[in-house]
Chain A
Amino acid sequence: MSEKTALTLTINGKDHAISVEPRRTLADAIREDCGQTGTHIGCEHGVCGACTVIVDDAPVRSCLMFAVQAEGKKIRTVEGLADGDTLHPMQQAFMDNHGLQCGFCTPGFLMLAVGVLEREPDISDEDLIDVLSSNLCRCTGYQNIIKSVRAAAQEMRK
């Protein structure tokens, strides 16, 4: 009853031809079928935000979408942020401001913050805090993540 479907996922501009069951989440497909393991999986039910990716310019939980729903859409993951050896301003800001410790939640935070700032470059500091409440981090206490994203926001507005 649940046969595999052949589809193509476009991740960071590269096409991946895969074959998955409809129940395969986008998060699992990105990692297991496309081999892009920068996207992490935490809770698998939309609470932790570790699996956040950008689908057609919207930051979304990839564990709450099925891979078959992402066919034909532009998927961006943490692997696509840097330009060669040059880090994305968001990645650089996380380094400069100690925005990570163990790093498990970091790809999700990066994609969340980049996704929101690309949509709303002039978002207020207060609203940014609300946005960052979307994802869980058990190391940093969030303050350095907030600092990092604010620094990157200034950089991205230039």
Chain B
Amino acid sequence: MKPAPFVRHVPRSLDEALKILADVAGDDGRILAGGQSLVPIMAFRLAKPAHLVDINEVEGLDKIADDGKALTIGARVRHAAFHKPVTGNPLGALLAYVARHIAHYPIRMRGTFCGSLAHADPSSEWCLTAATLDAVMVAKSINGTREIKAAEFFDGIMSTHLKEDELLAEVRLPLLPADARFGFYEFSRRAGDFAMSASLVTYRLDGGKIVDARVGLGGAEASPRRIPEAEAELNGKAAGDAAFRAAGEAASRAIEPLVDHQTDADYRRDLVRVVVRRALEHSLT
């Protein structure tokens, strides 16, 4: 239960961090941000990185900026930064609501938004958020800057298309329309435990009918994603039980369920049917 030995690097600037990362990436070097996922994995010796590039002392990585189009979240913005809405746009309330479901209070004091995305746990609330809202990931290395769309970022369980010498320097979340509604629901066995399925939805109402529906699903498949079949059941319909149930059914049919020792495919499909419906119901409260 003790991490294996490693060499710690403590860059003070982003350039220095990228330079060190380029040097050690090929020698099993990893970024250490909040450490709330990496350190447990190291304690179990599932990961034994030879080098850790600790970005906790790097200037300027803890910024959140709203430029009127998107919210830009720096590499070391911690979960707790979202406890209170970070913007007056409906996105602020959405992030505050979702943040409360991430692990527990002390974990949220250390863990980071970008770290969650780079870690890419299928049940991660922030990965679900990024997928649902079509976030743009900004990856940096000594070779330059690369933007990756959320739909092209995740690559299965705990895997992303980040290259080994790239740091997820910031993430851009598009602001929501001023009249956007959102709903979120996750199912886990214990408070703060990993979600066995979670759904985030956003939409607008136009003359009582749903438009611009987004239905995101996490924890159910290897990577979180939008479920177009469920969105199609919502667009043009009245916001209410019939459409919500139809969307849940459609999502349940559309997925390739994750299966593990306590969850078979049928059970996961049942969960998905329920979490999508409940996320939609939450949007009306």
Contact = CB atoms under 8 A, between A and B. Distances in A.
Contacts, number: 88
Interface stretch (A10-18, A55-63, A77-85, A91-99): A55-63
Interface string A50-72: 00100000111101111011000
Interface string B45-81: 0000010101010000000000000000000000010
Given A22-B5, A25-B3, A28-B2, 7 more contacts: A44-B2, A46-B40, A61-B106, A64-B110, A69-B54, A130-B105, A133-B191
B7 A130 contact: no
A66 B2 CA distance: 11
A115 to B, nearest CB: 8
A59 B106 contact: yes
A156 interface: no
B7 A65 contact: no
Interface string A133-148: 1110000000000000
A116 B5 CA distance: 33
Nearest to A69: B56
B36 interface: yes
A152 interface: no
Interface of B: 1-8, 35-36, 39-40, 42-44, 50, 52, 54, 56, 80, 100, 104-107, 109-110, 190-192
A60 B6 CA distance: 22
B43 A45 contact: yes
Contacts of B7: 1-2, 22
A22 B8 contact: yes
A112 B6 contact: no
Given A23-B2, A68-B8, A133-B191, A60 B43 contact: no
Nearest to A46: B40
A110 B16 CA distance: 39
Q: Interface on chain A toward B: helix, strand, loop, or mixed SS?
A: mixed
Instruction: Please tell me the size bucket of the interface on A.
Output: 20 to 34
Contacts of B4: 23
A107 interface: no
16 contacts: A22-B7, A23-B4, A44-B1, A44-B2, A60-B106, A60-B109, A60-B110, A61-B106, A63-B43, A64-B110, A65-B39, A66-B35, A69-B54, A131-B105, A133-B191, A134-B192
A89 interface: no
